[in-house]
Structure 1
Amino acid sequence: MDTLKSEEALMARWDARREPLVSVICLAYNHAEFIRETLDGFIRQETDFPFEVIVHDDASTDNTAAIIREYAARYPHVIRPIYQQQNQYSLGVPFSTRLFAQAHGRYIAYCEGDDYWTDPYKLQIQVDFLERHPDYVITYHDAFMFNGQGVLRSPHLQGRYRRDASALELMRGRPLSTLTVCFRNLIKELPPELHGVEVLDICWWSLLGAHGKGKFLAQIRPAAYRIHEGGIFSMRSSKQRIRMSLHAYYNLARYYQRIGDQALHDYFLIQVFCHALALISPPAKLVALGKALQNTSLNLLRRLSPTA
């Protein structure tokens, strides 16, 4: 930490504005082993605009809160700590989205306390693009997955996901590397249908898609997505991750049904069906598909048959 710049040096590049242009949201829980690297990645950002870092400690049982206090004492005008006495995640509280409403910035950047950024110009590049392109609502870039043994997957985004996203693709919950995003601060609260959803980033992209497109910025150095035993999503089994995504798609279908978007309602119902099929064994899958085909055929025959 001694090699980091002082708060005065950090703020020296900023213009006369004092209100932050970007709010960095960081959720932490038992991340004492990792969070210094995360916070260092924020402090090393080189920007010509003010930014704030909202660090939310969800009642950690290790030394995470003490480390956050150490950084907050050194950077009191940059780091805004929030300490919970009771774990909000276990209560089903979508606290990450609630932090958006508390953020002062026009833009939101997101990185959890076990991941970190590697490019000191990340925020500057993303904000410069969003300021010049009002038809884009979110920017994102590359990441790599790693654990204690080394890099597991690089890049994190593969194939067709390494490009820009249309508004419709975002509304359909297009996969992004969440630790790389910077987006317009437009989501102040979740629709009631999305309360209790664990895979909230899918919901965020879908809601943001109503406001514009997504930009993939290949020039930003990849961020580091850490896989470890305490990871909420990454260490879940394949079936658990599918169930979590299925739940998100089902609730998005309910939301779009309520607001009258039939196309998106149907799209997310198809995703529910596909994810449900992925959860069952191959023999049971054949039986389910056979029954679905049989029911479809009977319904078609009824429609084609002349009425009495």
Structure 2
Amino acid sequence: MKVSVSVVTYQQASTVRQAVESVLEQQVDFPIEIIAGDDASADGTREALQQLQFEAPETVKTILRHSNAEDFGLTNVLATVDAAQGEYIAFLDGDDYWTDRQKLAKQVAFLDAHPDCVICAHRVQHLRKDGVRILSPNAPHGEGVYDIGALIVRNFAPKISTVIRRSALADLPEWYRLTSYSSADWLLNILAGRHGRVGFIDQVMAVHRIHQASVSANFGSLHMISDKLRAITALRSCLPQAARDLTRLERKLLWKRRIVRWSPRAFSVLRRLNGMARSHPG
């Protein structure tokens, strides 16, 4: 198996078919499998996944949990990763979708050509409910290869953009598997990045929906910052080579936390203006 695609879902009955079909429509000359994990949805998501499995039994496999772990979906993600058989693992949430039918082919070709890279990411478009589309704010300009420091500080690899060598996820530390972090996706990238470099393709190949049920919408800026500071503390134990970059990010987050505490409204306005500078309608 060349590529396993981890698709995780929770209460996404209205969008999960589009997500899975965007994988099934990939134009590749290598075998792929879809490992769809559902976190005890009660809105018809499970039934939608079962129907998709019925329609494409040779490709779609399901892991249907009977209780929600309430850990930002980490248990669900890890279940799909542990079940994966592919040389590479790609990631997708049930409310997002891929837009380029050559996405997997391009990323696999990049990783095959760059054995020093363990991750390949690309630019993502964020779609708001009002139809405004925002390009990834932290993405590099131009195709390139980056070290783990850039990944730590810039966080330019959204989950739905990444294809990761499965071997780079074989030794995830116990603290990651057992602790709930809202920044779990970022942490997964960093932990994989211990084993090599990160490739970036400067093309928009996926859409991420921004809605009120998202982690970032519900968890709040101050809590998100505090959670990432806690994650940095955990990373120091297994990333001594990146101590300087972790400290740099820590200082940036401490500065942001001071602003949020001083004036949450001012921080919200700054974020909105930053998003408007990168957005366009339609």
The aligned residue for residue 88 of structure 1 is: 69
1:172 paired with 2:152, answer: yes
Structure 2-normalised TM-score?
0.82
The aligned residue for residue 30 of structure 2 is: 49
Q: For 1:261-291, what per-residue CA distance to the aligned partner results, in whole angstroms no more than 9, with x for missing partners? A: 2x42454245334423422358979xxxxxx
Would you say the 8 A contact 2:72–2:215 is kept in 1? no
Q: Decide which of 231, 241, 251 is 1:248's aligned counterpart.
A: 231
The aligned residue for residue 278 of structure 2 is: none
Would you say the 8 A contact 2:125–2:206 is kept in 1? yes
The aligned residue for residue 246 of structure 2 is: 268
Instruction: Report which of the two has the higher share of strand.
Output: 2
- Bigger RCO of structures 1 and 2 (CA < 8 A, at least 6 apart): 2
Determine the C-alpha separation between the residues in 1 that align with 2:161 and 2:261.
Answer: 40
Would you say the 8 A contact 1:115–1:225 is kept in 2? yes
The 5 Å alignment of 1:1-308 reads 20-90=1-71, 94-153=75-134, 155-158=135-138, 160=140, 163-169=143-149, 172=152, 174-175=154-155, 176-186=157-167, 187-194=169-176, 195-196=178-179, 197-218=181-202, 220-256=203-239, 261=240, 263-265=241-243, 267-280=245-258
Determine the C-alpha separation between the residues in 2 that align with 1:173 and 1:191.
Answer: 21
- Alignment RMSD (CA, Å): 2.6
Amino acid at match of 2:104: L
Determine the C-alpha separation between the residues in 2 that align with 1:204 and 1:283.
Answer: 29
Q: For 1:95-117, what per-residue CA distance to the aligned partner results, in whole angstroms no more than 9, with x for missing partners? A: 31342222000001001111100
What is the total number of aligned residue pairs between the two structures?
A: 259
Structure 1-normalised TM-score?
0.75
Determine the C-alpha separation between the residues in 2 that align with 1:270 and 1:193.
Answer: 23
* Runs ≥4 residues deviating over 4 A: 90-93, 281-285
Amino acid at match of 1:225: H
Amino acid at match of 1:202: W
Asked which structure has the greater CA Rg, the reply is 1
Would you say the 8 A contact 2:127–2:133 is kept in 1? yes
The structure-2 alpha-carbon separation of the partners of 1:105 and 1:237, relative to structure 1 and needing over 3 Å to count, comes to same
Determine the C-alpha separation between the residues in 2 that align with 1:135 and 1:92.
Answer: 30
Determine the C-alpha separation between the residues in 2 that align with 1:107 and 1:41.
Answer: 18
**CA displacement at 1:158 relative to structure 2:** 4.1
